[in-house]
A = this chain, B = another copy of it.
Amino acid sequence: MKTISRKEEIIQVASRLFYEKGYKTVSMRDIATAMDIKAASLYNHINGKQEILSEIILKVAEEFTVGMENVVSEKISAIEKVEKVIEMHIDITVNYSEALAALNNDWMHLEKSNLSAFVKMREDYEENFRKIIKQGIEMGEIKAHHPEVILFSILSTLRTLYLWYQKRGKLDMNILKRDMVAVLIKGLI
């Protein structure tokens, strides 16, 4: 019976506020008020605002990194890999929709090693995706459009999925996966 720590609670509340108003707009006093305590009390559990941000972002970034590595290592066609990536994005979106706002909009407010770690993960992720697409084109599975256009088009849709997920409520995720995969992939083949 695992109960969530006070620190995790802070991170959870902060995620929601960052989602609603953005990292820079949310003050430590805002976070504290939302928990019915004083701002100074937060520092019994966390080292500072920056730590809250980096924990939110890096945790999800690692999920993406691991998920992508799993897909890459599978012995399936390029198109099937793209399908798996799309499904992974949808799964992560469902589980971390609020954290994704910070990841997408506030990553540039990370500092030093956290910032460079994030940027590296994102670059590696994109590079893996790019390779899948290029491979698919070489094998004749994917139409030979500019690979960057394909990459960008899919990635931008997946990255903003969190916005849409919240707005529409929990439309059945299986329906979403099926239609999203169809719409994104049928343009490629």
Contact = CB atoms under 8 A, between A and B. Distances in A.
Interface string A61-72: 000000000000
Contacts of A164: 148, 152, 156
Contact of A153 (B109, B152, B168, B184): B184
Nearest to A165: B152
Chain A, interface residues (CB within 8 Å), range: 20 to 34
A180 B109 contact: no
A176 B157 contact: no
A45 interface: no
Interface in A158-189: 159-161, 163-164, 168, 175-176, 179-180, 182-188
A22 B24 contact: yes
A149 B180 contact: yes
A21 interface: yes
A153 to B, nearest CB: 5
Interface string A112-148: 0000000000000000000000000000000101101
Given A156-B157, A159-B160, A183 B149 contact: yes
Contacts of A24: 22, 24-25
A53 interface: no
Contacts of A186: 143, 186-188
